[in-house]
Structure 1
């Protein structure tokens, strides 16, 4: 089964299965295809994945997030008068991670060649009928695109006309990207002809991107457009294979990537919610929504202060944060009314240490809200655009037992294309902060990974894979995935019902994008929410707005061990699509 953000992307995954590939091969093909389609990401972005290996019975994490380049310091951005790193342009870019992540996953866990896996993406780079969503996004952002010469050349084929972007259905060609992908495949093929192993041939392609002529042209194009990435930045970066974090919820083991993502916040939320009878409250009752909202507030307050790159000091107190005892203490802070001033907790005693930030946390509310220009609960369209900024998600499974969940991102439109590579650069630098008072663990520094919102998920029961799930949507991702998971575990929904079910969205955490705003007490509910639930929540102190769709888009696969089959789900929020055989 192959599910991702676009029908053509899912088709690429299905094609790989027909060639004899496994779920990792299919996920890599979907990743390549969606990057080539600019499905709100591109090749210069970042890739985060969880993979269940049926041979070792273990879940592994793929960390292919780029790092801040040379010269990217807090002082550098503050000298430009910025409160946070920029949202767009070459100085918003961390080093490209997706090419390395794809090749690493393929080499370690796949079966097919890079040539086979990239075949659909190469065909699309040669030219495919562009869909309306992407074509119109280009048109809407064309004024920004025009300032970057290589982006202008790729995205605006009708420059000077009334509509300068491609028309929906027009064949969209990317000759520079095509050349880059063909170079990677040619390098692999040459290495195989020289008698090198499959792994060595894939490494040769990896090296050409990060240390060869592709790297040289990418850096030249970045420098020409005012960026910071150097050849050393590319050469020194590497993909990390990690042991993910995990918690148990009512006998189900849930896995998330480490604290360089927001994933642990879902684990913390589950630990808190385990102290309540959620099923007894009733699905989407006022008590249920309130309890979820407050649990997420507590977990996300910790996310906003304590999460960051674990390879840099200070090191996040994850043992304490994921402690069941700490969660029980936090759960006692949930009262009958909304608390709009939720502070980070003190997890250090739960790992036998003193909190070095205790004095700072006493006055944290003042610091926490100082960047919020409008904390009155109103949720504007522009705020939502930053807060829920989407990418794509990928899930795949196969009969051998491989299970893959991926949340790739970065390089969305409007992206800076780096020289004649066709590679759109990431905009992930904006997820750093510049002041340790906001988050001492996530202050920008060269070689450091920002704390990102991207958060694939896997769940196992009795040692067997149960659920692969992922979603796009910025800071709402782990909110949506938490509710999706509870819809299945607590309320017995099947996987498709759970992807489409109405969610509640909170904005009472610091956004990871733009101005990093926070909206205390603000809540989005489904427009079908009954009036008595609305009334109760307003009396609890919430400022509520309503939208038709609040659920995703969530993609997921549930493993039906009783019947030996897969159940796939792709929400009706966007163009996400799945193909099973």
Structure 2
């Protein structure tokens, strides 16, 4: 016999069968990593050594911004699926102003990067790799900007751990093996080959795990930045102005000269003017309220608002009564995510350019209720399309005809069957035939979380310049590959068509939540289009199912592939939605899997489906910090 449960939905009840709700015992489960506790500070990021870099700065009296910048620098130097030429996205809680601040340090499309240029080369999307995939570097400028404005330490102090690593650090197996896997591509770029292939001509040309990996060119670049800072201090400049002198040397001085020269030599488009004209932006974050908790995300140049939209849709359902990861719960969350991602795929883009994302309508509760009402509680909708948010901001949608044409592009067949293994699973070498698609879906980065006793909180999702990276000349700096997140055809998205000076709509999406005006959660995750899927479920684990951050970070997630991929592939078919494709954890009870299959899903199973998520929870009752770092990956935290 099947039981039923009522879900309240804007004035009416829907009766949904609960097929023998065999769910994980989420709130009581033991964790593979111990919970992290701290009173004075907490530092969490994607590599153990990088977390140590943050702890060193805390121990020297730095605040959370100082420590976060040190971790950012260290992860870039360790090539933790990013490098110094990538991009940085951050949310900062300012305890004195009692507000959340957003930092946009994403690079822009260079001169000559037009849709016609890439189409002339036979692309349907900008390329995945090499100099033509690069936007201008954002991380050096974002780090300097955050540190100068909100930190307390000098750039010299904050970069010291990273510079020690550049002098030589024992490389980890994940990075070393990634170099080896990508060596054929690396060989096509002379400056990358010089840095990465330390055993050129041997059977294994990459460094071995544990080998001391030296980056002389990068050390020289960082030393030049420190020299500029120290000279400015000797000239009587303030701490802030001295840090920005280092910024200027990177973007307007001899470092930029070599970066541009090396990029152009290898076929890149970035000019000196592109670097000199770029700057990081401080902006207001977007925010919605979910059951008394204010949730913050970056603006529509990221996918972050998709999580806010999904939460608004899910307000219309009684999730807790469904049970953690029951078939009806998974179905409801999947459908809400699909609706939000359909809007993301069409409407999101750089708000500094026209057309502007109709963000007021997209984040309207009434629009969310309208979208929620379209969810069929009994089956998947294989052709979820963007909605029309314009009436909810008292305007008319100029793209109705385009939306109707666009719907024909959507693939409504279930694809991608197979035994799916997430990117960071220990059995990743056993990837299925469809592994290329799944790599694009999950293409990683890292995350940085920091908090201190004074009340500063930082959440960062940096990325770009990942392996195999094309290094720009003798700078030691890997160029970003983020240009691939643009589209070339307004039929896919009129808001995200590539233009010089424009920022692509990226997947990178740190998150923060306040309760009663005080920090409640700070959380982020690596990955591509899965980021806001994982973060949404982590947040619901804490808020709906009363999990602490470590169990919530390790808990089984689901992933939807029913969206347009943001990364990888140069053809339309590489990125089209895969209707009904659903990743589940292997521990999912058989009856739940079978019920979802009857609802129209094609199931993939993974050993670890939890992110990897990094998070800090603020225990207001005890005045302490709780840390969580998923068991899926090398992410690690230190606290005191």
Question: What range is the shorter-chain TM-score in?
Answer: over 0.9
Partner of 1:517: 576
Alpha-carbon distance in structure 1 between the residues aligned to 2:234 and 2:248:
17
Deviation of 1:569 (Å): 0.4
Q: Is 2:101 the partner of 1:96? A: no
1:151-178 deviation per Cα after TM superposition (whole angstroms, max 9, x unaligned): 0000001111111001111100000000
Alpha-carbon distance in structure 2 between the residues aligned to 1:221 and 1:271:
47
Q: Report the more deviating stretch, 508-517 or 42-51.
A: 508-517
Q: Is 2:186 the partner of 1:145? A: yes
2:404 pairs with one of 335, 345, 362: 362
- Where do residues 480-559 of structure 1 align in structure 2 (5 Å cutoff)? 480-515=534-569, 516-559=575-618
Partner of 1:405: 459
Deviation of 1:121 (Å): 0.2
Aligned-pair Cα RMSD in Å: 0.9
- Where do residues 271-282 of structure 1 align in structure 2 (5 Å cutoff)? 271-282=312-323
The alignment partner of 1:21 has SS state of coil
1:129 pairs with one of 170, 175, 180: 170
> Scaled by the length of structure 2, what TM-score is found?
0.90
The alignment partner of 2:72 has SS state of helix
- Where do residues 318-467 of structure 1 align in structure 2 (5 Å cutoff)? 318-335=359-376, 336-369=378-411, 376-378=415-417, 380-467=434-521
1:549-569 deviation per Cα after TM superposition (whole angstroms, max 9, x unaligned): 011100000000100000000
Partner of 1:55: 96
Deviation of 1:368 (Å): 3.8
Deviation of 1:230 (Å): 0.1
Deviation of 1:199 (Å): 1.1
Partner of 2:530: 476
Given that 1:66 and 1:97 are in contact with CA atoms closer than 8 Å, whether structure 2 keeps it comes out as yes
1:155-212 deviation per Cα after TM superposition (whole angstroms, max 9, x unaligned): 0011111110011111000000000001111110110011111111011100000000
Deviation of 1:134 (Å): 0.3
- Where do residues 226-241 of structure 1 align in structure 2 (5 Å cutoff)? 226-241=267-282
Alpha-carbon distance in structure 1 between the residues aligned to 2:613 and 2:309:
20
The alignment partner of 1:214 has SS state of helix
Partner of 1:76: 117
Given that 1:307 and 1:316 are in contact with CA atoms closer than 8 Å, whether structure 2 keeps it comes out as yes
The alignment partner of 1:328 has SS state of helix
Alpha-carbon distance in structure 2 between the residues aligned to 1:318 and 1:176:
43
2:147 pairs with one of 82, 106, 119: 106
Alpha-carbon distance in structure 2 between the residues aligned to 1:47 and 1:41:
10
> Scaled by the length of structure 1, what TM-score is found?
0.99
Alpha-carbon distance in structure 2 between the residues aligned to 1:538 and 1:368:
21
Alpha-carbon distance in structure 2 between the residues aligned to 1:348 and 1:368:
22
Alpha-carbon distance in structure 1 between the residues aligned to 2:380 and 2:304:
24
Alpha-carbon distance in structure 1 between the residues aligned to 2:346 and 2:576:
14
Given that 2:414 and 2:602 are in contact with CA atoms closer than 8 Å, whether structure 1 keeps it comes out as no
The alignment partner of 2:231 has SS state of helix
Deviation of 1:362 (Å): 2.2
Query: What are structure 1's unaligned runs of at least 5 residues?
Result: none
Given that 2:414 and 2:601 are in contact with CA atoms closer than 8 Å, whether structure 1 keeps it comes out as no
Alpha-carbon distance in structure 1 between the residues aligned to 2:491 and 2:402:
7
Partner of 1:169: 210
The alignment partner of 1:474 has SS state of coil
Given that 1:377 and 1:521 are in contact with CA atoms closer than 8 Å, whether structure 2 keeps it comes out as no
Q: Is 2:621 the partner of 1:562? A: yes
Deviation of 1:363 (Å): 3.0
Deviation of 1:33 (Å): 0.3
Alpha-carbon distance in structure 2 between the residues aligned to 1:182 and 1:564:
40
Alpha-carbon distance in structure 2 between the residues aligned to 1:364 and 1:326:
21
Deviation of 1:377 (Å): 4.2
Alpha-carbon distance in structure 1 between the residues aligned to 2:241 and 2:406:
51
1:202-238 deviation per Cα after TM superposition (whole angstroms, max 9, x unaligned): 1110000000000000000000000000000000000
Given that 2:410 and 2:576 are in contact with CA atoms closer than 8 Å, whether structure 1 keeps it comes out as no
Query: What are structure 2's unaligned runs of at least 5 residues?
Result: 1-41, 419-433, 570-574
Given that 1:306 and 1:317 are in contact with CA atoms closer than 8 Å, whether structure 2 keeps it comes out as yes
Deviation of 1:490 (Å): 0.2
Given that 2:257 and 2:272 are in contact with CA atoms closer than 8 Å, whether structure 1 keeps it comes out as yes
Given that 2:612 and 2:631 are in contact with CA atoms closer than 8 Å, whether structure 1 keeps it comes out as yes
Alpha-carbon distance in structure 1 between the residues aligned to 2:449 and 2:283:
19
Deviation of 1:519 (Å): 1.0
